[in-house]
């Protein structure tokens, strides 16, 4: 079960009302969308990249005429809106990254607590985690560990991976964990979590996707429309912040500082702890 993060804050930020229409660019099973639908008589266009998640979502909303669901990447938001003739977009939500389902159910190696094949892809195509770990150069690995994982011992870990894979390809999460653990003499899961995050971001091109979608989202929104972005990683939030700064003349900033979850939400849903929400209105 994926618990939507910053529920009240997202609804307050998007302010759905009347017969307004929304695009949920990271639909998942429609957790946030259901809350939006309760406040508006309009429609939601839900975009979900993961085929398995999408199938479930499609089933769930089959009978709801106010929901259009599309199995695609949000980077194509402009094309999707056009193809579905989805006019007057009053708000867009992006709640980026993976869901709890990916960690708990997908069996694709997103969790460092389970021994699974190193896949980490949201969709079938793309470079898998296994390919990244076994084919990237030392410098490339070091860069992604530093940039996407903010791992201080990036070089040491990259070297250990190269050494290990010379003997035998690294194919599962536990094999990768053993290499990382030994390289940094890890006493906690923190470095492992950082390395997993970095590989997942690289595999799914997550930062590139955010960079690509933001200007398109702004184009798609109607004047007075709202854009809400939830990120979980400082690299993601930096891109959103920069985008807002570079488009100041086109946007009204709703919250200068990112909105973060209250203590009670973090206690109830620890996954929410790194969530940051930024909301802007198109002028
Ligand atoms: C954090 S979850 C969203 C949860 C949802 N807001 C809710 O509360 O129910 C992110 C979802 O976005 C999907 N996703 C990731 N990258 C995507 C992309 N480029 N295009 C569309 N969906 C994407 C993931 O598969 C995942 O289901």
Q: Which two tokens stand for residue 25?
A: 């660019």
Instruction: Give the count of alpha carbons within 13 A of 179, CB side only.
Output: 25
34 and 73 in a single domain? The answer is: yes
Q: Do the Cβ atoms of 240 and 210 come closer than 8 Å?
A: yes
Measured in angstroms, how far is the CA atom of residue 47 from the centroid of ligand 1?
8
Instruction: Give the separation between CA 280 and CA 12, rounded to whole angstroms.
Output: 12
In this predicted structure, what is the pLDDT of residue 87? 87
80 and 141 in a single domain? The answer is: no
SS (H, E, C) 63-87: CCCCEEEEECCHHHHHHHHHHCCCC
Q: pLDDT at residue 245 above 90? A: yes
Measured in angstroms, how far is the CA atom of residue 152 from the centroid of ligand 1?
29
221 and 251 in a single domain? The answer is: yes
203, 233, 268 — which closes off a domain? 203
Point out the ligand 1 atom lying closest to the alpha carbon of residue 26: 12
Q: Does residue 2 fall inside a structural domain?
A: no
- Convert the pLDDT of each residue in 172-187 to its tens digit: 999 999 999 999 987 8
In this predicted structure, what is the pLDDT of residue 204? 98
- Convert the pLDDT of each residue in 104-159 to its tens digit: 999 999 999 999 999 999 999 999 999 999 999 999 999 999 999 999 999 999 99
In this predicted structure, what is the pLDDT of residue 123? 94
Q: What is the pTM of this model?
A: 0.96
66 and 148 in a single domain? The answer is: no
91 and 218 in a single domain? The answer is: yes
Q: pLDDT at residue 251 above 90? A: yes
Domain range for residue 111? Answer: 102-203
In this predicted structure, what is the pLDDT of residue 185? 84
User: CA of 105: how far to CAs of 120, 143, 152, 170, 282, in Å?
Assistant: 12, 30, 31, 22, 38
92 and 13 in a single domain? The answer is: yes
CATH number, residue 243: 3.40.50.150
In this predicted structure, what is the pLDDT of residue 186? 72
* E strand map for the chain: 21-24, 44-48, 67-71, 89-95, 221-231, 251-253, 276-282
- Angle at CA of residue 184, ends 181 and 187, nearest 5°: 60
Q: Does residue 1 fall inside a structural domain?
A: no
181 and 197 in a single domain? The answer is: yes
Mean pLDDT, the chain, integer: 97
76 and 197 in a single domain? The answer is: no
How many distinct structural domains can be found in the chain?
A: 2
Cβ < 6 A, ligand 1 pocket: 2, 4, 25-26, 28-29, 31-32, 47-50, 53, 73-75, 95, 97, 99, 122, 209
Measured in angstroms, how far is the CA atom of residue 156 from the centroid of ligand 1?
32
* Mean local confidence (pLDDT), 224-235: 96
Q: Give the model's confidence band at 64: pLDDT under 50 very low, under 70 low, under 90 confident, else very high.
A: very high
Write the burial class of residue 101 (CB in 10 Å: 0-12 exposed, 13-18 middle, 19+ buried): middle
Dihedral over Cα of 11, 12, 17, 19: its sign:
negative
Measured in angstroms, how far is the CA atom of residue 166 from the centroid of ligand 1?
36
Q: Do the Cβ atoms of 95 and 119 come closer than 8 Å?
A: no
Measured in angstroms, how far is the CA atom of residue 99 from the centroid of ligand 1?
7
Instruction: Give the separation between CA 259 and CA 44, rounded to whole angstroms.
Output: 24
How large a percentage of the chain has pLDDT more than 90? 97
Residue-wise over 45-76: b if at least 16 C-beta within 10 A, else e? bbbbbbebbbeebbeebeeeeebbbbbbbbbb
Q: pLDDT at residue 208 above 80? A: yes
Beta bridge partners of 251: 282
Q: Give the model's confidence band at 1: pLDDT under 50 very low, under 70 low, under 90 confident, else very high.
A: confident
* Mean local confidence (pLDDT), 209-217: 98
Q: Give the model's confidence band at 188: pLDDT under 50 very low, under 70 low, under 90 confident, else very high.
A: confident
In this predicted structure, what is the pLDDT of residue 281? 98
Point out the ligand 1 atom lying closest to the alpha carbon of residue 101: 27
**What radius of gyration do the chain's Cα atoms show?**
19
39 and 68 in a single domain? The answer is: yes
């Amino acid at each position: 079960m994926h618990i939507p993060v910053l529920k009240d804050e997202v609804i307050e930020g998007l302010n759905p009302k009347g017969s307004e229409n929304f695009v949920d660019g990271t639909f998942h099973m429609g957790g946030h969308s259901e809350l939006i639908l309760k406040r508006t008589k309009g429609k939601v266009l839900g975009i979900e990249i993961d085929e398995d998640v999408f199938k479930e979502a499609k089933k769930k909303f089959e009978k709801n005429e106010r929901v259009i669901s599309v199995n695609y990447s949000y980077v194509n938001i402009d094309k999707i809106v056009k193809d579905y003739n989805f006019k007057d977009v009053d708000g867009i939500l992006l709640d980026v990254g993976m869901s709890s389902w990916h960690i708990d159910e997908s069996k694709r190696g997103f969790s460092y607590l389970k021994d699974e094949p190193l896949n980490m892809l949201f969709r079938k195509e793309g470079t898998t985690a296994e390919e990244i770990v076994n084919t990237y150069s030392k410098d490339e690995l070091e860069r992604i560990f530093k940039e996407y994982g903010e791992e201080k011992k990036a070089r040491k870990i990259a070297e250990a991976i190269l050494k290990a894979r010379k003997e035998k390809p690294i194919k599962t999460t536990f094999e990768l964990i053993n290499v990382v653990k030994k390289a940094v003499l890890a006493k906690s899961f923190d470095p492992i979590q950082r390395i997993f995050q970095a590989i997942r971001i690289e595999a799914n091109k997550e930062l590139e996707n955010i960079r690509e979608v933001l200007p398109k989202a702004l184009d798609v929104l109607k004047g007075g429309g709202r854009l809400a972005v939830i990120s979980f990683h400082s690299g993601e939030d930096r891109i959103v912040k920069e985008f807002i700064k570079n488009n100041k003349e086109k946007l009204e900033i709703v919250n200068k500082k990112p909105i973060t979850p209250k203590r009670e939400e973090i206690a109830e849903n620890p996954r929410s702890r790194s969530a940051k929400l930024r909301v802007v209105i198109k002028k």
